[in-house]
Chains A and B, each alone.
Chain A
Amino acid sequence: MDTADLSIAEMGRALRDGSVSSEQLTKDALGRVAAKDAGLHAFVLITRDRALADAHRADSELKASIDRGPFHGIPYALKDIYDTRGIRTTCHSKLRINNIPAADSVVAAKLTEAGGVLLGKLATHEFALGGPSFDLPFPPARNPWNVAHVTGGSSSGSATAISARMVRMAMGSDTGGSIRGPAAWCGLAGIKPTYGRVSRRGVFPLSWTLDHCGPLSRSVEDSAITLGVLAGHDPADAASADVPVGDYVSDLNKGVSRLRIGIPRAFFAGSPVATADVLAGIDRTADQLRSAGATVEDIVLPDYALFAAAGRVIMMAEAYAIHEADMRNRLLDYGTITANRFVLGAAIMASDYINALRARRELTDAVNGALGRYDALLTASALCPAPTFEASVDALASAAPMQTIPFNVTGHPAMSVPVGLSSDRLPIGVQIVGRPFDEAMVFRVSRTVETLSGWESVAPPM
Chain B
Amino acid sequence: MPSSEDLASGDLAAEFDILMRRAGITVPGERRATVLAGYADLLGQIALLHNRYAHTDEPANIFRLSPRDGR
Contact = CB atoms under 8 A, between A and B. Distances in A.
A355 B57 CA distance: 9
Interface residues of B, number: 30
Interface in A340-354: 340-341, 343-344, 346-348, 351-352, 354
Contacts, number: 95
Contacts of B35: 340, 343-344
Interface in B10-61: 16, 19-20, 22-28, 31, 34-35, 38-39, 41-42, 44-46, 48-50, 52-53, 57-61
B60 A358 contact: yes
Contacts of A332: 28
A341 B58 contact: no
Contacts of A203: none
A348 to B, nearest CB: 7
Contact of B23 (A305, A306, A308, A346): A346
Contacts of A310: 49
A331 B35 CA distance: 13
Contacts of A398: 41, 44-45
A316 B42 contact: yes
B60 A327 contact: no
Contacts of B20: 343, 346
Question: Which of B23, B31, B39, B49: most chain A Cβ within 10 A?
Answer: B49
Nearest to B32: A340
Contact of A309 (B26, B45, B58): B45
A51 B37 CA distance: 46
B61 A328 contact: no
Contacts of A351: 50
A125 interface: no
B45 A355 contact: no
Given A306-B48, A346-B22, A358-B52, 8 more contacts: A309-B48, A347-B16, A347-B39, A347-B42, A358-B58, A358-B59, A359-B49, A398-B45
Q: Which 10 A-B pairs have the closest CB atoms?
A: A357-B59, A309-B45, A346-B23, A360-B60, A355-B49, A361-B60, A328-B24, A309-B48, A358-B53, A347-B19
